[in-house]
């Protein structure tokens, strides 16, 4: 199949962005990328042409809690500690079950696919259920069972949580869509022994370790009291930083800590909208990039965002750092697209097969419709993607060469299933509040 568009943003530094570009997909992989006129000479198979479209790599939502769409709009406009302790954690204990995850997953995965996300990194509960829904929907995901020092909906103790994690990894490791990992909630909510045990399991299994890191000033103060240092330094001291480390947020991190992250090969996921909504602060993204830290982009959960639209996240990402630094050149639209695609794939350990439209990589890409008035004149594809487009402009989504969204219609999850999921969740939330 040949896919042709007005512009192809490859995300590959050697191929760049191609006007009147095309790619050829054979099976599940990209076979060729280049000018349409060149590829058409050698191609005699079927084609799909979008003369006013932009083809780009599928977006990577590198940190979220997908099933938290069930709590969308619940307890807004509160500080993180009050939001978590007084509302979200009690609601999770009362409402979250395998059925809750299954129904919430259908809403979340639909939202992500329809807005162009083809890979996401997730930390939550009952991840076997989420994995089943991921397989059914066609999306890809790095999934981790959230382990913490307190009882969770899926594990009464941290030890039980670690047992669930090991079993989950062994069950799903090697799957082409589900990439299992280790999920530890945060340095302030996991004991030193639990942190070390989780890191050891991740190294043993060769999987990612996903953890919330330096999200708020309160976390910095708490870790300072407990260990007389900062969260990043503490994790480095106990041997946890390294390749495969996925640190979500990284808002309160100084220059020396950024050097530690870069030197060890650890990654950070920037979640600007959640950090703004919870007033956690603004992560030093330009500094991360200048110091060579791997950075991806994430929405966090829909309870603290409140959507999973990565186009929305890209726009916020581009704008807040210009305002923070009073420098309009500090981060470009191209930088933001890179963070939201190949950057996220690098942080999640999958850049060898995903994140760019490169011959030999898996054919995960989206087609953005350039016909609406807010996309015209269609002259600057990167600018339009970051500053003009929204997730609603995604027309086609292809994952592993298979069409998952066609002309704006999701093919793998029905509208009836979404309605059923909404009714189930509303009833469950009514029981809690």
Express each pLDDT in 346-355 by its tens digit: 999 999 999 9
Query: Tell me, what's the pLDDT at 143?
Result: 98
Read off the tokens for 142.
């790095």
What is the DSSP secondary structure assignment for residue 299, as one 8-state letter? Answer: -
Would residue 252 count as lying in a domain?
Answer: yes
Would residue 404 count as lying in a domain?
Answer: no
For residue range 148-170, list pLDDT tens digits in order: 999 999 999 999 999 999 999 99
At residue 411 the predicted structure's pLDDT band, cuts being 50, 70 and 90, is very high
In angstroms, rounded to a whole number, what is the distance separating the alpha carbons of residues 136 and 111? 15
Would residue 371 count as lying in a domain?
Answer: yes
- Domain of residue 260 covers 59-347
Statement to judge: residues 384 and 288 lie in one domain: no
Statement to judge: residues 189 and 334 lie in one domain: yes
Q: Give the CATH number, domain containing residue 256.
A: 3.20.20.140
In angstroms, rounded to a whole number, what is the distance separating the alpha carbons of residues 73 and 63? 19
Q: Give the CATH number, domain containing residue 395.
A: 2.30.40.10
Query: HSE-up of 128 (CA within 13 Å, CB side)?
Result: 11
For residue range 356-408, list pLDDT tens digits in order: 999 999 999 999 999 999 999 999 999 999 999 999 999 999 999 999 999 99
For residue range 208-223, list pLDDT tens digits in order: 999 999 999 999 999 9
For the segment 56-70, the average pLDDT, to the nearest whole number, is 98
Question: Which residue is it, tokens 């199949």?
Answer: 1
In angstroms, rounded to a whole number, what is the distance separating the alpha carbons of residues 133 and 124? 14
In angstroms, rounded to a whole number, what is the distance separating the alpha carbons of residues 167 and 35? 47
Statement to judge: residues 139 and 240 lie in one domain: yes
For residue range 85-101, list pLDDT tens digits in order: 898 888 898 899 999 99
Query: Tell me, what's the pLDDT at 166?
Result: 98
Query: Tell me, what's the pLDDT at 81?
Result: 85
Would residue 241 count as lying in a domain?
Answer: yes
Count of residues in the chain:
433
Query: Tell me, what's the pLDDT at 430?
Result: 85
Statement to judge: residues 243 and 178 lie in one domain: yes
For residue range 301-329, list pLDDT tens digits in order: 999 999 999 999 999 999 999 999 999 99
Would residue 393 count as lying in a domain?
Answer: yes
Preceding omega of 306 cis (within 30 degrees of 0) = yes
At residue 79 the predicted structure's pLDDT band, cuts being 50, 70 and 90, is confident
Query: Tell me, what's the pLDDT at 74?
Result: 86
At residue 185 the predicted structure's pLDDT band, cuts being 50, 70 and 90, is very high
- Residue 241 CA, chain-centre distance (Å), reads 20
Statement to judge: residues 138 and 211 lie in one domain: yes
Query: Tell me, what's the pLDDT at 416?
Result: 98
List the one residue out of 138, 137, 158 whose CA is nearest residue 147. Answer: 158
Query: Tell me, what's the pLDDT at 364?
Result: 99
Query: Tell me, what's the pLDDT at 108?
Result: 98
What is the DSSP secondary structure assignment for residue 320, as one 8-state letter? Answer: H
Question: Which residue is it, tokens 């191209």?
Answer: 334
Which one has a higher pLDDT value, 429 or 360?
A: 360
Statement to judge: residues 334 and 390 lie in one domain: no
* 3-class DSSP assignment, residue 2: strand
Statement to judge: residues 192 and 127 lie in one domain: yes
Strand 365-369 with 394-399, pairing? antiparallel
Look at phi and psi of residue 34 and say left if phi exceeds 0, alpha if psi is from -120 to 50, else beta. Answer: left
Residue 405, strand partner residues: 397, 410
Statement to judge: residues 230 and 280 lie in one domain: yes
Statement to judge: residues 14 and 64 lie in one domain: no
Residues with Cβ within 8 Å of residue 24, at least 6 apart in sequence = 1, 2, 3, 30, 31, 32, 33, 39, 43
Look at phi and psi of residue 228 and say left if phi exceeds 0, alpha if psi is from -120 to 50, else beta. Answer: left
pTM of the full structure: 0.97
Would residue 305 count as lying in a domain?
Answer: yes
Statement to judge: residues 213 and 254 lie in one domain: yes
Q: Are 189 and 146 in contact (CB under 8 A)?
A: no
Read off the tokens for 420.
């059923």
Residue 209, strand partner residues: 182, 245
Would residue 420 count as lying in a domain?
Answer: no
Q: State the chain's mean pLDDT as an integer.
A: 97
In angstroms, rounded to a whole number, what is the distance separating the alpha carbons of residues 237 and 257? 12
Helix axes 127-137, 158-172, angle to 10 degrees: 30
Statement to judge: residues 80 and 51 lie in one domain: no
H helices present in 206-332, as ranges = 217-227, 231-237, 255-264, 272-277, 285-290, 310-325
Statement to judge: residues 252 and 374 lie in one domain: no
Would residue 87 count as lying in a domain?
Answer: yes
Query: What is the number of domains present in the chain?
Result: 2
In angstroms, rounded to a whole number, what is the distance separating the alpha carbons of residues 277 and 307? 12
Query: Tell me, what's the pLDDT at 151?
Result: 94
Residue 183, strand partner residues: 146, 210
For the segment 269-283, the average pLDDT, to the nearest whole number, is 96
For residue range 278-296, list pLDDT tens digits in order: 999 999 999 999 999 999 9
């Amino acid at each position: 199949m040949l896919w042709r568009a007005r512009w192809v943003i490859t995300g590959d530094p050697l191929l760049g962005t191609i006007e009147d570009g095309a790619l050829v997909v054979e099976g599940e992989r990209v076979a060729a990328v280049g000018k349409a006129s060149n590829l058409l000479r050698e191609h005699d198979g079927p084609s799909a042409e979008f003369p006013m479209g932009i083809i780009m790599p599928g977006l990577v939502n590198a940190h979220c809690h997908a099933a938290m769409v069930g709590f969308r709009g619940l307890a807004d406009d509160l500080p993180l500690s009050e939001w978590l302790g007084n509302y979200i954690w009690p609601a999770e204990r009362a409402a979250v079950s395998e059925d809750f995850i299954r129904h919430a997953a259908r809403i979340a995965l639909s939202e992500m696919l329809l807005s162009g996300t083809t890979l996401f990194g997730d930390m939550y509960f009952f991840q076997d259920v989420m994995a089943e829904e991921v397989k059914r929907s066609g999306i890809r995901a790095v999934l981790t069972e959230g382990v913490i020092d307190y009882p969770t909906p899926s594990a009464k103790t941290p030890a039980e949580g670690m047992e669930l994690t090991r079993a989950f990894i062994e069950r799903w490791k090697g799957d082409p869509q589900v990439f299992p990992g280790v999920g530890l909630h945060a340095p302030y909510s996991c004991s030193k022994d639990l942190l070390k045990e989780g890191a050891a399991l991740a190294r043993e299994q060769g999987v990612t370790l996903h953890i919330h890191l330096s999200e708020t000033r309160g976390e910095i103060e708490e870790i300072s009291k407990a260990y007389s240092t900062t969260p990043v330094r503490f994790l480095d001291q106990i041997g946890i930083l390294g390749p495969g480390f996925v640190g979500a947020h990284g808002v309160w991190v100084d220059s020396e800590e950024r050097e530690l992250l870069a030197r060890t090969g650890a990654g950070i996921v920037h979640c600007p909208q959640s950090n703004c909504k919870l007033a956690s602060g603004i992560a030093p993204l330009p500094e991360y990039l200048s110091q060579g830290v791997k950075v991806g982009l994430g929405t966090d959960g829909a309870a603290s965002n409140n959507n999973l639209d990565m186009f929305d996240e890209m726009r916020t990402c581009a704008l807040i750092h210009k305002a923070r630094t009073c420098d309009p050149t500090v981060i470009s639209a191209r930088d933001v697209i890179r963070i939201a695609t190949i950057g996220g794939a690098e942080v999640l350990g999958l850049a060898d097969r995903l994140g760019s439209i490169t011959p030999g990589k898996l054919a995960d890409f989206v087609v953005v419709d350039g016909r609406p008035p807010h996309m015209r004149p269609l002259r600057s594809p990167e600018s339009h993607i970051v500053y003009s487009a929204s997730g609603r402009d995604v027309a086609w989504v292809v994952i592993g060469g298979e069409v998952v969204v066609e002309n704006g219609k999701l093919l793998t999850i029905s509208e009836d299933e979404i309605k059923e999921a909404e009714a189930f969740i509303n009833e469950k939330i009514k029981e809690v509040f």
